[in-house]
Amino acid sequence: MSWNQLDTTVLRVTDGTGEFVVKASGRTNHHLLREISAHEDAVAVLAATGHAPRLLHADRERRVLVTRYLPGDLVEGTAAEHDPEVHRQAGRLLRVLHAQDGRVEQEFERSASAKSLAALHRPHRIPAAQADRVRTVLTAYRPRLAVLVPTHGDWQPRNWLLDAGAVRVIDFGRFDRRPAMSDLCRLAVQQWRSDVRLEAAFLDGYGSDPRDPGVWPFLQVREAVATAVWAHEVGDGQFERQGHRMLREALSAFD
């Protein structure tokens, strides 16, 4: 079940008594280590109700992870991707993940902007004028305190399963502690752009809108840079084009 973008192998296996997912990665791939951290830190609350995989075995040194296989069909690419009820359930599950605990961090926003600026020194195809605009915007930004919660990092239909009407969540390879609003980035620039009903349903399930209007525009700029640069590095042309669109739209907020 591998995506074949990174050196990660994902297998669906059985021992005759049940089905499992085995993931293994190379030495320089940090996604699997993040997923192990996710299970050790925050996923159990969702796994306990069958809404996320249950961890069975993890070995950081060998970079191997084993979880129970979750039944269901991938939401992305199906009619369910644009079903408000699916988004409502996804919002409800995300709130459960985020609500476990929050930690105030003084340097997070500053560090996130510095990381984004550093990414512009890596190979990419962002036009020079846009790269300069990013530097101007992020350098002028005066970071605020951030409340960090457990976040998935890639909360979108490509990581949702639908099983008999119930939404489940997989792939915590981008797990980290971040502001809650960061988990809305993918949806805001994809499914929600063309259907406001999905956003409304999601926020109804979540219970509120976690986006801080004073921070959200800068977060979108950073997310766009990260998308465009990473997609170029791994050769994902479609995702890279999305990153460039995201950057154009994010920078328009500062015109």
pLDDT, one tens digit for every residue, the chain (255 residues)? 887 767 889 999 999 899 999 999 998 888 999 999 999 999 999 999 999 999 999 999 999 999 999 999 999 999 999 999 999 999 999 999 999 999 999 999 999 999 999 999 999 999 999 999 999 999 999 999 999 999 999 999 999 999 999 999 999 999 999 999 999 999 999 999 999 999 999 999 999 999 999 999 999 999 999 999 999 999 999 999 999 999 999 999 999
Q: What is the CATH topology of the domain spanning 72-252?
A: Aminoglycoside 3'-phosphotransferase; Chain: A, domain 2 (3.90.1200)
- Which CB contacts under 8 angstroms, 24+ apart, belong to 245-252? 245/189, 246/189, 246/220, 247/126, 247/130, 247/134, 247/221, 248/130, 249/189, 249/220, 249/224, 250/217, 250/220, 250/221, 250/223, 250/224, 251/130, 251/133, 251/134, 251/137, 251/221
The predicted model scores a pTM of: 0.95
- The residue ranges of every structural domain in the chain are 1-70, 72-252
Are residues 199 and 156 in contact, defined by beta-carbon separation less than 8 angstroms? no
Distance CA 164, CA 148 (A): 33
Amino acid identity of 39?
H
Residues 121, 126: Cα–Cα separation, whole Å? 11
In this chain, the answer to whether the domains covering 1-70 and 72-252 adopt an identical fold is: no
* DSSP code, position 5: S
CATH 3.30.1540.20 fits 1-70, yes or no: no
What is the amino acid identity at position 3?
Answer: W
